[in-house]
Structures are given as C-alpha cells and as structure tokens.
Structure 1
Amino acid sequence: MVPSTLPITRHLKDICQAIKTHPALILQAPPGAGKTTAVPLACLPLLNSGRQILMLEPRRLAARMAAQRMADLIGEPVGRTIGYQMRGEQKMGTDTRIRVVTEGILTRLIQSDPELADVDMVIFDEFHERSIHADLGLTLAVDIQEGLREDMRLMLMSATPDIAALTAFLPQAHVCAVEGRSFPVDIRYQQGPAAAHPANHLNPSAVARAVTFAMQDAPGDVLVFLPGVREIHAVAGCLQAVMDTRNTHIIPLHGMLDKQAQHRAVRPSEPGFRKIVLATAIAETSLTLDGIKIVIDTGLSRKPVFSAQTGLSRLLTVPATRAAADQRAGRAGRTSPGICWRLWPENLPRPAVSRPEIREADLTLLMLEIAHWGVPGPEALKWIDPPPEAACASARRLLALLSAITEDGQITSCGKQIIALGTHPRLGHMLVKATAFNQTWQAALIAALVEERDIFLTGSAYPLVDIRLRIEALHQMDRSAGKGSGSEPVDQVRAKRILETAATWLKRLGAEKTEPDLSLTGRLISWAYPDRIGTPRSSRGTFTLSGGTGARLPAADPLATVPCLVVPVLTGSGKEMTIRLAAPCDPRCIASDFSHVITTAPSVRWNEKTRAVTSETLISLGNWTIRREPLEDPPLDAVLHALLSIIQKRGLCLLPWTRELKTFQSRVCFLKQSAGMADYPDFSDAALLSSLDVWLAPWLHGIRTLRQLEAIDLKRVLSSCLNGPLLKQLDRDAPTHLTLPTGSRIRLDYAGDGTRPCKAPVLAVRLQELFGVVQTPRIAGNRVPVIVHLLSPAMRPMQMTQDLESFWKNTYPEVRKELRGRYPKHHWPKNPLSASPTRRTRPRKR
C-alpha cells in the first residue's frame, strides 16, 4: 500500500506504535519524505470501526493532491476510503476513513460536533506555517481531548517544527524525527540588478533575466517563487517579451486558479518542452512538481498583517524567512540534483522563521469562533501563542457592532447565523441582514467582489471608486450569460469567478436572484463595515471613518463630495488610507440600523473659531458623529476641564500677563530657587501649568470665552498663592527697584534664561551714578549681590560685575581709557571712589 521507496516507510511502524501509546505525536520529516501520504495510510489499521482520520492541509490544491495520491496508492478513486472536503467542493462517502480537509472546514466540523465522535485522529500537516485556523483547530482539538476524548490522538507534521514550543504546549507528546531523501541542491546567490528589490518591491524584468540565464546554464524545468498574483502576471509578461516560448510553457500557480489550471502546473512537461512555473508560496510545501531542476527564489512573500490601531487587515510583501528559503530550495532536489538561484546577496540578513499568523492577523473570526465554543474568552483555552489582547479587544468591538456577540461576549443568534456561513463576520452579517430586504443577490455580489480584486481593467491609477458600477456590470454579465457591458472594460475571468462565488452564497442561503437595488448598496455595505462609514473633512475627497482612520479618494471622483459614504476596500497604511471601493449611504438608515451601539454623550470643548468653550450632545457611532444637538447647561467640571486643557495646550500666554506680573513671577522664583527660601511656591511656567487645577481653577467659574479669560484679575490670582508675611518678605527681599545715591530709582531685572530663574537680578545703571559706591548692592537678606550692568552715557553696556570694589580697583582704569576716548567731554575721574555720583548725561557747560 505504501511504496517502500519513500524515506519514511521504514519509520512507519515506530510512528504507529508511538501514536498508540501517546496522546499526541510531533513528527519532523523533511520535504519529500512521504509523510503527507504514507503516515495517514499507515494509521488506518489503528482506527476503531466507523471512525475517521481528519487531516488538515493548509491549501486547497495540497488537499486535493494528497487525497488523490493516497487513493492512487490503494487503487481506489477519490471519494471512497480517501476523501476530501473544502469550501464549495467535496468528494467523500459513507466509507471514507481518511478525510483531508482545509482549514475552515476543520473548525466547522469541531464546532458542529464538539466531541468529534466519529474521529479517532486529527493530523495537522505542514504545521510550521502556523496559520490562525491551524492554531485555533489545534486549541479546540486539545480542549476536546482533555475534556471529553482522552482516546482521540493528535499528530503534528512538519519539516521545520518548533519542537521547544510544541513540547511545551503538548508535554505528553512523543517527538519523532525522520531523515528524508533529498538530492544535493547547488545554492547560488545572484548580485547586481537581478537581486534588486528595494523596500520589498520586485523588479519583474530582473527576474525574467535571471530565469533566462538559469535556463541557458542548466537543463530541466524551472520553479520561480514570487510574492503574489500581480508579480506572476508581470514576470510572465517580461518572459514572453524576452524569450522564445515555442518550446517553453509559462504556467502560473496560485490559489485563485481553477482546479484544471493548478494541476497543469503540477503535471510533468510534455516531451520536447520545458516549463516555467511562476508560483506563490503555494508551491513551498506539500506539492511535488515533477521535473523541477531549477528554483529561482525572489526572496519575497506576502502575508496578512492586522493593525489593532486601524482595525484593518492588509497583505504586506515581506522578506521570506530562512526556513521558507530552505523549503523553496529543496524543491529543486526532490527527484534529482538541482540548482537554486537566490536573488539577494548572501550576507543579507533574514528572519529565521515567520511570526505565527495569530500574532498579526485580524482576529474577528477567531473571537467569534471562541464565543461559539462557549468560553468567555481566549484566556479560557490553551494556546501555543495566545492572541494579542489589543487585537482581541478590537475584534470584540467589531463583533458587538455586528450584533454577533453580547456585551459579556456571548454569541447571539445573529452570530450563529454568521458563523454558519463560514466567511468573515463582516460579510456574514451583511449576507444575513440582506435577506430581510430581498437583496441577498446584491449582498452576495458585494461579498464576492470584496474578497476578489477589482474587476475593472483600466489604465488609470485611480479608477472611479463607486462599487455600484461593479455590481451593475456583474449583474448585467450574469443576465447576458457572461458578456460584459458598460464604459469600463471588465476582467472576464475574475468577474466569472465572482459570479460563481456569489451564486454559491445564494445557494447556501436558499435565496433567489433579484434585481439589485443600488439605492441600498451603501446600507448593505454598512452592515459589513460599520467602522468604515466616512464623513467629509474640509479638503475635497478626504473623509474621517467611524473607526477613526482618515481616508481619501481623488478629488475628481463623483463620490468626493457626498455627505456620507461607506468604504469596503481600503489600501495603504498609517493615518491616511486610500479608498478603492465605496458607496454613498444614508445617515438616517445607519442611525436606525445601529441604534444598539449608538452612543449619546456630552461634548464640551474649546472651539478655536469662536475662541470659547462650546457644549453640545453628540450622537455617535464609533468616531463618526451622526448628529449634534445643543447642550444648554453643560457640566461645570467639563467646562473647567476644557478651559484648563486649552491653557495647558497653548501655554500660560493665554492669561493676561503684564510686565509687572511677569516680574512678580520671576521674583518669587528667584527667592525659592536661587535664594533658597523654601516657603515660597514654585512659580515656574512648568509648575504653574502642571497645577492649574490648584491655583487657577477656583477663579474660572462662569468663564466660557477667551475674552472673559483675559479679563480675570491675574495679579489677585497669583498674590492669593502667597500669605501676608510672604508678600511682605517678597517686597523686602526681592524688591522691584533699588534707589541709588543719586536718587535714581532703577528697576531690577529678575528674568532668567527662559528655562530657569536668575541666580541674581540685574541692575542696569550708568557707570557715573555709582561713583563713590564701594559695595555691590545686595538683596535677599543681604545674601545675594545683584549683577551690575555698567552702562556708558549712551546706555550701552560696558562691563558686568557682582564686585564693585574689585571693578574700581582692577578694571576701571582700562574702562576709563575707552570712555575718555569715546566721551571726552564727560568727567572720568582717576579715583572714582572719591568722586561724587551723577546722573547727568551731559557735562555742564563752562
């Protein structure tokens, strides 16, 4: 039954013995060892009567091929002993003992039969890929095994399993490592233009040149790993332009192809022909592509990444991991020695393995599955890697918007209807709700269209975003048996696939096709995307979505000026995303449809336009304000908070400061921080801003406008922070002026450098007014000498000192020479200490 030539064959007896005596088995076997086909067949005799083996495969093509290969080995057609089941397609019967399923199907089987009563063993193939469905399936299977089915066995198979993580998760598991049979692969790194894909952007021409060179260098078929479908088409176009394809077949291989097209890539080449298979990561594992001798690895992959900040999931092009690169290279050595060209420098760093999808993906469906399982949250289950709390919280909020769960996380009847459809809860909610409006066909078209790429073929970088144009075109194609109509050219293959998917939804829901009511399109989409309802901002074509994200479309688009739209397809990242598909919607309908999650809350805030506190009641859905109503009597604490917030934001400059008040502030700061008088409060700007609620708030009652704020008695406010003795001490120890022997009353400058108070105030005075003054004036209880700025008769600074006695003795003779030269008519005595001070700016006439 199992070929003896497979490397794993001699280990099958030990594997079967281990799975009989242990609740779980972790099987490590390299690509080509035969684990996908040989192990399930070898385990058939272990099954109890009427029981099955469920084997999870991550991809549809891999599931089909695994079932076909096992059926061939036992000489039966697929559908008897060996069967498979995937969304929209199955081949199995009452005699099926090994059922190969894809990821979503496994979860549905577990949810529909929480004991898995007809299953003896669940096998997770290629588990190193760590998809979110595989993680969930394993978590639920372990929950079943520990709670209800101790007799059920679990097996995890992979070429590169994380043994440490898996044995920590399954401490009772037996680990079995099997050596494989692989032929040597010559790894070559290519430098220069062919390796250049800066910022993870592929150069299709460079890849085509690498393929051409590799085919001239060595015989055999070629497998090229590319990140996605777009790149496959681009490289195919470049290859057709640069090479003779009469004896060469260029064959795409990706998950969106139909069954026949996928099998064409797997079959051996016709005699006299070579094939170039342009593949996504679908070809990394599980599949054997006959005839492949050369692998061209671009080093790029595409993976879904979820942002908890935006609530959106998007595909990102990222560097392939070292583990993935090794898997890809191994494809060249499955049946004979081969060559792998890696189109990047050998010393370029790469991540060792990819992060589990559960750490980065959209968790909405996962959280709904957990609610359906009947536990309060993911924390009630065992996980290899627990889902991130922020992403779980974001998913819960969306599920509440979709009426799929209650406030305490229990699944609702609507949630059960959604989950039965086996699609994302967004689309499921729309499909369920549309039935009441006899618009199931339009909802099915929208769901299928959103899951595909745009059907319009246009040379414009930004085609019209109105999704109703696509729905109308699809409906017309369906009515005219596939013939397109309208102003935009349509991708016929993609449109046909969308129509087929929509028809599947319709059949599953038991509904009939009806004429799409395009006036309801926006409302239908809002049931799927309540967090993407957009209201316009000031700039034409820019919108704020109810989930908080900013989005834009071309200003020339007809939807750029609508008062409200809903956006099912966005691209980009960050705070400003690009709208790709949208439809206008009626805010009144949305307010009615989402009344269960619409909030009413007072909004008291500072209005920059009116320069006053405004108050209103906001009726909102998420970050989208549906309606504003006047609030005549706002809470006083909210008004106070708005005033204090704008002062903290804009600074103390909003208050009515005068020169006198700034000096008052500086004098207090000087005594506290420079003179060491701790009894004084901290009057620095930073301290005042951080304690507005203490010293300013009591004086703001009844104030709403900037004009009123500017009219408060700030001197009284600040003085109230000091008691009577401190005020008297302030005037005594930090006077505003000093009186000189000439009778002049000179202002002291206490201003610091803007970040700290002055160490001593500045006395700026003409030098002649200090003739005869030996000691520098002092303040702060005679502890701090002032800084004297000595000025010329023209009030220009000549010298700065805190020691007048030293200045007269050591510095004045030199200064006197300069002053006599500049001001010869003034009296500059040799002995300034014996001269009389004067405040005359000009000498007396003789």
Structure 2
Amino acid sequence: MDALPVREALPGLTGALDRHGTAVLVAPPGTGKTTLVPLALAGLLEGGPARRVVVAEPRRIAARAAARRMAWLLGERVGGSVGFTVRGERAVGRRTRVEVVTTGVLLQRLQRDQELSGVDVVVLDECHERHLDADTAAAFLWDVREALRPELRLVAASATTDAEGWARLLGGAPVVQARGAAFPVDVVWAPPPRAVRPPHGTRVDPALLTHVASVVRRALAERDGDVLAFLPGVGEIARVAGRLGDLGGVDVLQVHGRAPAAVQDAVLSVGERRRVVLATSVAESSLTVPGVRVVVDCGLAREPRVDHARGLSALTTVRASRAAGRQRAGRAGREAPGTVYRCWTEAEDARLPRFPSPEIKVADLTAFALQAACWGDPDASGLALLDPPPTGAMAAARSVLTAIGAVGPDGRAGERGARLARLGLHPRLGRALLDAAPVVGPDLAAEVVALISEEPPREYGDDLAVALRAARHGGDAYAARWRKEAGRLRGLASESAGEPSRTSPPVPDRSGARAVPALDTSSRAPGAPDGAPDAPAPVSPGASADGDDGSVASRTSGGSRLPRAKGAGARAPLPDSRPVIEGGEERRVGFVAALAFPERVARAEGGSHLMAGGTRAEAEAASPLRGAEWIAVAVADRPVGRGHARVRLGGVVDEEVARIAAGALLEHRDEVGWSDGDVVARRVERLGAVEVAVRPYPGAAPSLVRAALLDGLRREGFGLLRWPAGAAALRQRLAFLRGRLGEPWPDVSDEALHARVEEWLEPELSRARRRADLARIDAGQALARLLPWASGEALRLDELAPERITVPSGSAIRIDYSDPERPVLAVKLQEMFGLQESPRVAGAPLLVHLLSPAGRPAAVTADLASFWRDGYRGVRAELRGRYPKHPWPEDPATAEPTRHTNARLRR
C-alpha cells in the first residue's frame, strides 16, 4: 500500500472533503484510487476516523474485483471490513466499513432511503465512462447533500475525465490530482496492410480481425509478458480466438460480461503459462490484469443507439475515443514498462473523439425516466446532470411508462411505478413479470423474463419456447446464469402473484459474512450480462455493451410507438378478470413476451410479420416462427442492406393472446380514405398498425367522403376530373393571363386549385361519392367559376387570350398556351404572307411556328418582319423544289396569303 502513488494525494483529498464535502479525484490507472482511497476514507489505514464508505462501480466484475483487492490489502477475506453487493450476490458483514456496489444498487438504495442512513462517504468511480446510472446517481446524491444531508461526502473519481465539468456539477468541488503510477508504455502503430471496411452497425470487417490476430502473434514474438487485446464484442472475441487456436504454450482467455465468473476471476490472477487475454471494454478500467505487459488495441467500441421511429434499439460499432485509448494503453504499464500496439495510424489518432458519447445522449431512457419519476422529477429538469436528456428520447420513455401503468398522465410514479423500479429489471420486463405471474404462474413468468433479459446463444434458436427448453436442460455457462436469474425473479414473481417465495435462504460464506441473495436494483437494460455496465438501459435486452456476435437486439426502446394510457396511474396491462391462456406452454411463453413488448405483437402479412408498432419483421426461413399467424417479437435487429427487421427471438401467440397482452393498443375506428385509386369506407379494429378485423362502412359521413376525394385529387391530380379539349385549353389560357397580367386572373396551379376548391369545385364535389363521380365532373365548367366576373374582366378573356386567332389567309388557327411564358401559333408559312408583324395576345408576341406544306416546322420566329427579310430565302431554297405546287414568291411580305396550291389558285 505504501507504494501506491495515490497515497501522496490522500492529504489533499481528505482536506478538500473536510472543507467542501465534495471533491473530484483524477488519478491515472495503477495509482490505487479504486482500492487505497476508500480504505483511507473509511479510516482503515493508520487509525483514521471510522466512516462507512460506499464505492460505486459501473460493472459487477469490477465491483467484485475491487472488494477482493481491498480485502487482500488488509489481509482479510471479503465480507469483513470490505464487502460488495452486486446483482444476485452480496458479501457484507457487521464489521463492513467499505462496501463496493454497482451504480444500479446505489440508485435503488437512494430510492428506498434518500438519506443513505449510515453512509458517510460515497465514491463514484470511473466517472469518465459516463454510464447513465453513474450520472443519475451523482445527480441524486447532490440532491441529498443539498436538501437532506449536507454532511454527506461525495467523491467523483476517474483516470481520465472532464474534471472541470464534474467539479462544477458538485458545487465547485476542488480537483485533486494524483501523479501517475504507470510505467512508460511504448506506442507501436500497427495499421492493417490494406484498407479495411469501416464498421457498419455491429459488423466488423473480418480482415481487421485477421489483422488483430496477426498483431497478437507479432506482440508475442517481440515482447515479453501477457498480452491483453481489446475487441468490441463477444463475437469478435470468439473469431479472433479461433484465429489464435494454434498458439503453443500460450493460454487464450476470453473476458466479457457473459464469461463465467470462474473465468473472470482466473484472469485476475497470475497464471503459470503465458496468456493472451481477449477482452471487451470491461477490462478498460477498475481492473488490473496481472502479468500484462502488452496491449493490442483494435480501436473499436460498442455504443447503444435508439431508433424511436421504428421502435428498435441497437448497438453500433464506433471508433473508440482517445480517452478509451489511453485507458486501454495504461493496462500495459500497470506493473512494469509495456507496449501498446494500436491497429490504426498515428494520423487517425488525432481525429478520434476525445471522450465516449455520454450514454444519456444515445441510449433508451425508459429506465432513467422511471428513476427520475420515482425521485419526484419526472422530466429530470431539476437534476444536476452534465448533459440534459434529449427531449425526444424522454418523450418516448414517458410514453412507454404511461402505457405500462408505471406513471400517470402527469408523469409521476404511483405505487405500481415504484414496484417496477424496485424489481431490478428494465420497466418493460418488470411489467411482464408483474402481470404475467398471476396468469401463467410465477415459475414460468420468471423463466421467460430471465430468458429475455439476456439473449440466449444462437444455437438455442429464435423460438422462445424452444430456447426455454434448451435453457432448462442446458449445461453451458448461459444456462447456469439463466437458472440463477430465474431463481431471483421467481421470488419477486411469487410475491407479485401472492404466493410464498421459494428463494433459497441466505448462506454464510467461510468468513462468517452473510452472502445473501441481493436485489441488484439497477434498472440496467435487460440483456446486459454480468460484467456489463449496470446502467439503466444502455442497450436493449440481449445486446450488451460487450457485444453479441454482431447481433443487435432491440427490446427496450421504441416508446414513441406506444399510446398513452388513459386515466391517472393507468394500468395499461390486463383486464380486471384474470385471463386464461389456452394452447399449452408455447402460448403462455409468448404471452409473457407480448406483455414486455406489446407494440411488437405481430401478424403474418405478405411473407413477413407486421408489428403493432408499424415495423415489419421477418423470421429466418427455417424458423418455427415463420409460419405462425401471430408472434410476439422479443428481440429484433435490422441487418445492413435489409428493408425489414429480423426476428432474433420471439414466441408464438394467437389473436386472443395478442388482444390481452396488447390491450392498450386496441382501438376501433371508422376509416374513410383514398386507397387503391378510390374512396374506401370501412370499420376497422386495430392493434396499433395491425388490422385485426375489417368490415364495410356504408354510412360514412359526407364530410369524410369529401375529405377522401380531396385526398385522392391531391395524390393523383386533377386528371381524375373530365377534361374536354376546351377545359384543358381554358386552364392554359388562364395560366398565361395570370403570368402575364397577374390579378384579377386566377392562379390555376394544382396548389392554388386545392386551396380554393370550395370556390370552383364544391357543388360537384359535394355530390360525389367515388372515383367514377369525379370522372363525370366537367373541369372546364367548374374552372369558369374562378373567372373574375365581379370586375367584368371575365368578359375580356377572348380578347386578351383568344382560343383562336385569324391569320392573313382567313384561317382561324388555335393558339397553344401549354407554355404560359410563350404561347405558340403553328401555321403554314403561305398563310402568313403579307403580315409584317407577329401577332400578339395580351401584348405579348406569339412564337410563330411556320410550317411546311406537309405541316412540319420550317422556321420558328417571334419577329415576322425579320424572318421575311433574313430567314425566308433559306427556307424557300430548301422547300421550293420539294413542294413545287405551292407558291414561293420572292417577296413574301407583299405576296397574297393563301391556304391553296398554285394549281388551285390558277383555277
């Protein structure tokens, strides 16, 4: 302990806490901030004043490891002076003065006991990771200190963080710096020899993984000591491990949240053989992996993203921040000089983001919103947060909470919301557990919720009922975790169903401390496995920040698709009478999933399933779900290049189950609209976007029919009306006058006609009921109503924009107004002989198309005098021989106009 550099910062830290009650501790990796500082603050070193210290860690693996390390420093076992509490496991004793907990556990204690009775100091470790639970706990603790317990001491500790921001958040807290303890770390830039495709969604270019494996082999050859390689997710770890399978004399270990506890613990002890440790971001901070002298960093990380419009949440692979890069590199210099191999160029490094995205900016906020509502601040506007929650994400979260009955219309949590918050589950899964237990029994409800909480391995399949049977009989690590979680939830479900709990009694450990089953009250996202952040919904179920072989589970977001429940404290769940689910266990399993995700109840339609939320989802071709008419989708992702979501886990249900589980989405509507080219009137029963029953609605109100007809005109245009030749010409003439003279001539563009439809089309429209009625309306007669009759200008229509004009030959030639900027007169050249100036309409010269005797354009001019003088000779020379029977005088300006040939003229 004397060698830990943070010891030198302890006087400054204790002094800052004595003066201000708050402090920000910035200490590089390896200084002892996680282990020595809590012991000192608790008075367990050198006889200081005895205090009770709670240390909050973002990950369970880190919480357990920190407690064991501190106990080892004191020469004790965990559960003596130092203990820990994480989800499903607790080791504390009567003498415990330092307790390490996850931030989720801390949040729940604050909800139960806002004063944190008996706690003197709270240390929020690894603040730089910006997990949502940590940010929320800091805000709640500041409220407690300001309003209830000004003597409560708060420390925000991190290796790399926004110290000024945290100091400002904690009321101007002093910043205490500890000098680095790490040994020097050489940086080796080791980019791939050829360009690799950037990550997309959760897909990582296999070429990069092959390169990472080759860099690991290079590091083993060039450097001594164990190698720690950082990869974004479980799938990437497995693939790189496969590429390293032939390493002789070297153990390859895989560390992530889903790894068995025994494997996680083995990594934290020195092995007899050289090791390669493949890890997710779980190994970035709080943990010292002994023996590591080399770090290989692939440069990628996983962050949550939420698509509120589609109701899908997802993990996405991003470039790791520079702060994460420093944390990862520091792992190589904890015990001796080391080396980090970075699989990118030095030039790229300067362009990386400084810090990771704060989870509050990108994650599903349903659980956070419930925490805020239970705290008494539904919109979180009064919480001391480094970053405010996005408005849209909070609105979506409140919509979910209202729909499941967790909060009332005012956003405040009632008794049901408080119960959901105490379950240690995402609110969606809490709702499923509470409401399913009385219907299907506590055992099955707990088993299914545990299965959804952490997505099972791919080999279990995508059918929930099949996966449940595999978990019951499985002997793998997942099955062991599932059984443990199902047991925990069974006790909670039994209480909900009014049955006695069958949870095992507490078992003392060898140190005499009581290792009691703990309610890790984190509202972390379902699916974030042991070792993943205990944060409220950083990712959706089955898609932990540790990654999952490229899958993007989406179970917790999408609140914008859920309707608000009616009534204060509304319970959107089940009818008052307890329903009976027929059809065996398969339907009951699907019922539990449907309660968690009512907007993902889906009906088969056109080769895919349409979910109540409006998104389409497809099951794999060989899936048992493929042929089911109704399913409840628990996990879905949207692979790159696919238009629909992909069902990763779901259960078969029937219409009755769908109606019961998604009852809050059920609505009856009379729909009158334009569909498939005509007015359609029907009475529809819907579960969200899914049509359950449809029948004709013959008595639709005229106003609704009129609105549908107008919609049809907007979609398909006024071509639905009858347009005789004169009607189309009238519209073109009016468009010309509007552009030439302006008012009072009407605007007859589509937009203007729609805006004034009552003035010109109303009498005929009010009598129409369908498309065929529109086709009988004479558009010309209707348009005539828009003429400026009141001013008398309408009488000048034929004067200003005549439909025809008489040319020198005596012919009445139609004017083409299709181009309102330049009307066209197309006339045979011989009929214009003798006319010196081009004819005009409304003061604008017509564009004259002079035609050959065969009616083909011979010349185009807006200045006849100039054409007779300069252009006619060329036309005459070209056409005279081709049409010898027609007159081609040398002076057309003085020649007699004619419609006839020379032979006709001679007769």
| Letter matched to residue 885 of structure 2 | K
Which residue is equivalent to 2:735?
A: 669
Residue 487 of structure 1: aligned partner = none
- The AA in structure 1 aligned to 2:289 is L
Match of residue 517 from structure 1: 585
Map 1:200-599 to 2 at 5 A.
200-202=204-206, 203-241=208-246, 243-244=247-248, 247-270=249-272, 273-348=273-348, 349-455=351-457, 457=459, 465-475=462-472, 477=473, 492-510=476-494, 511=501, 517-538=585-606, 540=607, 542-572=608-638, 576-596=644-664, 598-599=666-667
- Paired with 1:842 and 1:543, the residues of 2 have a C-alpha distance of 77
> Would you say the 8 A contact 1:766–1:793 is kept in 2?
yes
CA distance in 2, matches of 1:799, 1:709: 42
One-letter code of the match for 2:486? A
1:716 corresponds to 2:775: no
Kindly provide the amino acid, as one letter, of the partner of residue 619 in structure 1.
E
Q: 1:620 to 1:321 in 2, by over 3 A?
A: same
User: Matches of 2:745 and 2:585 in 1, distance apart?
Assistant: 74
CA shift for structure 1 position 528: 0.6
Match of 2:840 among 778, 792, 803: 778
CA contact (8 A) 1:455 1:495 kept: no
Paired residue type of 2:771: L
User: Is contact 1:441-1:516 (8 Å) kept?
Assistant: no
**Paired position in structure 2 for 1:486:** none
Tell me the residue number matched to 1:12: 10
* Larger CA deviation: 623-632 vs 298-307: 623-632
| 1:433-478 per-position Cα deviation (integer Å, ceiling 9, x unaligned) | 22212432222222222233334538xxxx5x32211223334x1x
Cα distance in 2 between the residues matched to 1:337 and 1:826: 104
Cα distance change on mapping 1:804 and 1:194 into 2, 3 Å: closer
Quote how far apart the aligned CAs of 1:400 are: 2.4
- Name the residue aligned to 1:733: 800
CA contact (8 A) 1:546 1:622 kept: yes
Partner of 2:726: 660
Q: Distance in 2 between matches of 1:816 and 1:575?
A: 63
Q: Which amino acid aligns with 2:20?
A: H
TM-aligned CA distance change 1:103 to 1:197, over 3 Å: farther
2:850 is aligned with 1:790: yes
| Correspondences of 1:111-150 after superposition (within 5 Å) | 111-150=111-150
Measure the CA separation in 1 of the matches of 2:610 and 2:298: 38
In structure 1, what is the Cα distance between the partners aligned to 2:415 and 2:685? 27
Aligned ranges 1:25-44 → 2 under 5 Å: 25-44=23-42
Shift of 1:596: 4.6
CA change 1:549–1:78 in 2 (3 A) is: same
> Contact 2:301–2:317 at 8 Å: present in 1 too?
yes
Aligned partners of 1:300 and 1:341: how far apart in 2? Answer: 14
Which among 717, 722, 726 is matched to residue 651 of structure 1?
717
Equivalents in 2 of 1:595, 1:160: separation in Å? 48
CA distance in 2, matches of 1:601, 1:799: 63
**1:113, CA displacement in angstroms?**
0.3
Q: Distance in 1 between matches of 2:361 and 2:808?
A: 80
Secondary structure (helix, strand or coil) at the match of 2:768 reads coil
Report the Cα offset of residue 49 of structure 1: 9.0
Q: Which runs of 5+ in 1 are unaligned?
A: 484-491
- Spell out the pairing of 1:807-818 with structure 2 (5 A cutoff): 807-818=867-878
Distance 1:841 1:262 in 2: 104
Give the distance between the partners of 1:652 and 1:231, measured in 2 at CA. 58
SS in 2 for 1:35: coil
Q: How far, CA to CA, are the matches of 1:263 and 1:194 in structure 2?
A: 38
Q: Aligned equivalents of 1:38 and 1:370: distance in 2? A: 33
Q: Which 10-residue stretch deviates more, 593-602 or 431-440?
A: 593-602
Higher relative contact order (CA 8 A, sep 6+): 2
Distance in structure 2 (CA, Å) of the matches to 1:456 and 1:632: 51
Q: Matches of 1:196 and 1:834 in 2, distance apart?
A: 80
Q: CA deviation at 1:690?
A: 5.3
Secondary structure of the 1:347 match is: helix
The separation in 2 between residues aligned to 1:216 and 1:703, in whole angstroms, is: 85
CA distance in 2 between counterparts of 1:224 and 1:353 reads: 20
Deviation at 1:835?
2.1
State the partner residue of 1:489: none
Looking at structure 2, the residues matched to 563 and 694 of structure 1 have their Cα atoms a distance apart, in angstroms, of 50
Q: Distance in 2 between matches of 1:356 and 1:575?
A: 30
Deviation of 1:747 (Å) = 0.3
- Cα distance between partner residues in 2 of 1:620 and 1:456: 33
Q: 1:89 Cα shift?
A: 0.6
Q: CA, structure 1 residues 68+512, in 2 after alignment: closer, same or farther (shift >3 Å)?
A: closer
- Post-superposition Cα deviations, 1:314-360, rounded to whole Å, max 9, x if no partner, equal 22222111111111111111121111111122222322211111111
Aligned equivalents of 2:72 and 2:759: distance in 1? 83
CA deviation after TM superposition for structure 1 residue 686, in Å: 4.3
Give the letter for the 1:12 counterpart.
L
1:500, 1:619 → 2: CA distance? Answer: 42
1:552–1:842 Cα change, 3 Å: farther
Give the Cα–Cα distance (whole angstroms) in 1 for the partners of residues 808 and 458 of structure 2: 92
1:82-135 C-alpha deviation (Å, 9 max, x unpaired): 111111111112222211101210111101101212222211000000111111
SS at match of 1:473: helix
- Given that 1:523 and 1:586 are in contact with CA atoms closer than 8 Å, whether structure 2 keeps it comes out as no
2:523 aligns to what? Answer: none
* 1:594 shift after superposition: 4.4
Q: Deviations over 1:231-281 (max 9, x none)?
A: 22221121113x21xx211112112223321121111232xx211111111
**1:627, 1:50 → 2: CA distance?**
69
Q: CA deviation at 1:691?
A: 4.8
Q: Quote the offset at 1:55 in angstroms.
A: 1.0
Measure the CA separation in 1 of the matches of 2:873 and 2:643.
Answer: 68
> Is the 8 Å Cα contact of residues 849 and 858 (structure 2) preserved in structure 1?
yes
Describe the shift of the 1:686–1:123 C-alpha distance in structure 2 as closer, same or farther (beyond 3 A).
Answer: same
* Cα distance between partner residues in 2 of 1:394 and 1:677: 49
- Contact 2:24–2:176 at 8 Å: present in 1 too? yes
Cα distance in 1, alignment partners of residues 456 and 749 from structure 2: 60
The 5 A counterparts of 1:184-195 are: 184-193=184-193
* 1:682 matched to 2:778: no
Moved more, 612-621 or 207-216: 612-621
The TM-score normalised by the length of structure 1 is 0.91
- Compute the RMSD of aligned alpha carbons: 2.4
User: Contact conserved, 1:185 with 1:332, CA < 8 A, in 2?
Assistant: yes
Structure 2, gaps ≥5 residues long: 495-500, 504-582
Higher mean alpha-carbon deviation, 198-207 vs 39-48, is at 39-48
The question of whether the paired residues in 2 share the 8 Å contact of 1:426 and 1:528 is answered with yes
Cα separation, partners in 2 of 1:396 and 1:321, compared to 1, 3 Å:
same
SS in 1 for 2:245: helix
Contact 2:838–2:846, Cα closer than 8 Å, also in 1: yes
Q: Contact 1:414/1:429 (CA < 8 Å) preserved in 2?
A: no
Q: Residue in 2 aligned with 1:743?
A: 810
Contact between 2:587 and 2:657, CA under 8 Å: does it hold in 1? no
Aligned counterparts of 1:64 and 1:112: Cα–Cα separation in 2: 23
Q: Which residue of 1 aligns with 2:682?
A: 616
SS of structure 2 residue aligned to 1:821: coil
Deviation at 1:532, TM superposition (A): 0.5
Structure 2 letter corresponding to 1:660: G
